[in-house]
Structure 1
């Protein structure tokens, strides 16, 4: 069994990073720009910097824990290791909400985009086709997914670079190239901080890929060295992509005045900058980007479900097993595929409003787990270096996440609490069942 498990460790550092970046969906910066520009009053790049700072603090906690932990499973495993299996169950249950909704969102987006490009095919058929294809690829070795993710991430990034070039040419031609070097996209004279925090709270969830890579440690070469580096690099690479793209979009569109629909500004942004042909090509790249994100989010969700199944939270004989020939958690992959089919009957606004709760629970739990493991259990408290790493940084990270809690939508909070209630019922049921088995064996 041990030899079989080791033989599946094939992912390199850059393959893990590519999966993490694909999970982030880099082109989401175009989807959210109109919304965040309105919230921040034309300071999207600065909001991205604040979001990157908050997420880097939490990424450091993930990296530190993955360096010393033998277990994959992200916040679920880390919390269980430091705060006990009961706390781990509830954190894992809440995080699972976030993990299973992201593949569902990608199925929804794919259906919307593809129906817009080819309206003759109904929306539900595109959702089914997208889900079946993503599920089928995830059934095979993780290397196939990593290589496909590289292709589907690389092409949109090339188009983003072309977009930057067109912005520079457009601004330079209309206003002079000295306007390209302005700091206006970052500082436009507005100094209000609360709108920036509100914008950053929306953008933080673009960085979720760094969390997902920690679920891949059982399929990664030298995970204690590779995963921590992948966590930090994924966060930084995603931050650079988001900041650069938002800088040039903000340069071209200082405000939302030109947008007819700021909540769905992507088609207008690329039309203004590059014309109808560029818009069509860009929308095709957006579909590719959604496919890459669909592959990565499906993989991470199925891994977390498999890890929880292996630990007995779900059925060990199905979700807890790795297929002997494929080397993947086959039943967990198929389970996520079935959930993605709900995109046929759900709408995007409803699903997006549900996604924040689980991520915030996971981030808070991992930062607290770093404090518990290193400062409380291992008593690494001597000297300013230990105090900074094990007390102050986790504390600052928790405070940063609390700022996001205050900006959580009411619908996300209510749905998250309902999901947590279901988890409590399952926990009580499993506890009572275990007690009955013990009592039965005693007799």
Structure 2
């Protein structure tokens, strides 16, 4: 495989990386806040809530927002588990690396491919949100399918251009955007609560309203092919509180990743969960008639404009556009890093090209071009669909649930063998945290039996079949031994040593 020129001056982190068989080939300039910003931007409560609030109004009514805190607790438990693994294996490629080294390279490749398909579609879903639910209100135009497709395509190109030219400037932009989102969402929430209360537009009954959703069977779990109305509300949190592990995919660019990355992941989930829920309450209180609002394609933007007026709403919606752009930027960055990591191990189709680091820009330039082209192709496929946004967010919720479930199961099987580094451990809380994560993921995956997700499942099946064909080619050409990870023996030796020491 190509041997990138090592980066000098990276100290102990480069030595730690060498234990996994890799040279330091990208610059380490990601600190604590930048790592948190990556995780927080991917979660992006502005993006997730703007994307899915309308769907929740139609499926569960306003009372569906009470599923949010439950989803946050479940995802926080998952973040603790994944953070523990990320601290032990601080290598770019996150779930692909974890599964390859702790289970086996074949399962690792499968999870890596599923992660890639998730990132390729979720960046389209996020950027589609800008074009379909925010810009039409902000710029006062009709968001037809053709216009939405064109705007989304331009946003994808802008993100890819920034990432291809400079990782440092991409992170600087993201740091600023996250700071703006944190300040802006707090300000937006406070203003909605105060102005709605002063004007008498605050309706507490909305918090417990079912809207236009039928009361019969509302609280039921559902049957074999459908989930109950309130159960579908969990997709609000399940779609939004994902991607926190993206910080782990920049492990080779982060200073002291064993300590910084897992904390960034958990802090991002907690901050997003608390702030997001308060914002949901504020919006729902000021929603007016929830039945009428559910018919809008831009419900959040409509509430903001009605409550705060056009001038303030314009400024706040501009902040939301920047936040969503940053979310898509981080998603694309994560997908590019995964493509590069799998290519470095000669596991990705056309790896010879995508494993290269540009000597001029110090970025995976060619991997960036590949990723944005694939994203544009996915966008073109969904461009004329009337239900494009729901299909995209459905697939983008299903795929991480599969990845998280596989990773948590792997942790259950290998947790006693993981070496302890003293930088991030669950300690006495391990069993209850893992139990919460397992129960939550089983419940979440059960929601996707609903027939409304058939197109999302179709996307998953098509991409898995494509991946299976390439995996079959790799196995036929190299055999199982040919898929061994670089310096696999090093971590095996550590695991064997820890197991032999009788550590409980």
Q: TM-score, normalised to structure 2's length?
A: 0.76
Matched residue SS, 2:415: helix
Residue 326, structure 1, aligned to residue 347, structure 2: no
Q: Deviations over 1:138-176 (max 9, x none)?
A: 013422112111333333444433432332333432459
- 229-238 or 166-175, which moves further after superposition? 166-175
Distance (whole Å) between structure 2 residues aligned to residue 257 and residue 355 of structure 1: 27
Matched residue SS, 2:291: coil
- 184-193 or 358-367, which moves further after superposition? 184-193
**Which residue does 2:382 correspond to in 1?**
346
1:44-443 superposed matches below 5 A: 44-112=64-132, 114=135, 117=139, 125-175=150-200, 192=219, 194=221, 195-253=229-287, 256-259=290-293, 261-262=295-296, 264-314=298-348, 315-342=350-377, 343-347=379-383, 348-349=388-389, 350-375=391-416, 389=430, 393-408=433-448, 409-435=453-479
What are the ranges of 5 or more consecutive residues in structure 2 without an aligned counterpart?
Answer: 9-23, 222-228, 421-425, 483-504
Distance (whole Å) between structure 1 residues aligned to residue 100 and residue 287 of structure 2: 47
Distance (whole Å) between structure 1 residues aligned to residue 112 and residue 480 of structure 2: 25
Q: Is the 8 A contact 2:232 2:447 kept in 1?
A: yes
Matched residue SS, 2:304: helix
- Change in Cα spacing, 1:330 to 1:169, as seen in structure 2 (3 Å) is same
Distance (whole Å) between structure 1 residues aligned to residue 272 and residue 34 of structure 2: 15
* 1:34 Cα deviation after fit: 3.2
Q: Is the 8 A contact 2:68 2:236 kept in 1?
A: no
Q: Deviations over 1:207-246 (max 9, x none)?
A: 1231211101011011111111111111111112211211
Distance (whole Å) between structure 1 residues aligned to residue 120 and residue 310 of structure 2: 35
| Among 26, 32, 45, the residue aligned to 2:52 | 32
* 1:388 Cα deviation after fit: 5.7
Distance (whole Å) between structure 1 residues aligned to residue 481 and residue 190 of structure 2: 67
- 297-306 or 287-296, which moves further after superposition? 287-296
Higher percent of residues as helix: 1
* 1:386 Cα deviation after fit: 6.6
Residue 10, structure 1, aligned to residue 25, structure 2: no
- Change in Cα spacing, 1:216 to 1:273, as seen in structure 2 (3 Å) is same
Distance (whole Å) between structure 2 residues aligned to residue 48 and residue 78 of structure 1: 29
Matched residue SS, 1:43: helix
Q: Deviations over 1:48-92 (max 9, x none)?
A: 101101101110111100111132322211111211001111111
Matched residue SS, 1:71: coil
Distance (whole Å) between structure 2 residues aligned to residue 225 and residue 27 of structure 1: 28
- Change in Cα spacing, 1:247 to 1:14, as seen in structure 2 (3 Å) is same
Distance (whole Å) between structure 2 residues aligned to residue 263 and residue 302 of structure 1: 31
Q: Is the 8 A contact 1:36 1:202 kept in 2?
A: yes
- Change in Cα spacing, 1:222 to 1:260, as seen in structure 2 (3 Å) is closer
- Change in Cα spacing, 1:170 to 1:226, as seen in structure 2 (3 Å) is same
Q: TM-score, normalised to structure 1's length?
A: 0.85
Q: Is the 8 A contact 1:114 1:126 kept in 2?
A: no
Task: Name the count of aligned residue pairs.
Answer: 428
**Which residue does 1:382 correspond to in 2?**
none
What are the ranges of 5 or more consecutive residues in structure 1 without an aligned counterpart?
Answer: 380-384, 439-443
Q: Is the 8 A contact 1:142 1:328 kept in 2?
A: yes
The RMSD of aligned alpha carbons is 3.3
Distance (whole Å) between structure 1 residues aligned to residue 129 and residue 196 of structure 2: 31
Distance (whole Å) between structure 1 residues aligned to residue 480 and residue 62 of structure 2: 60
- 30-39 or 74-83, which moves further after superposition? 30-39
* 1:402 Cα deviation after fit: 1.4
Matched residue SS, 1:250: helix
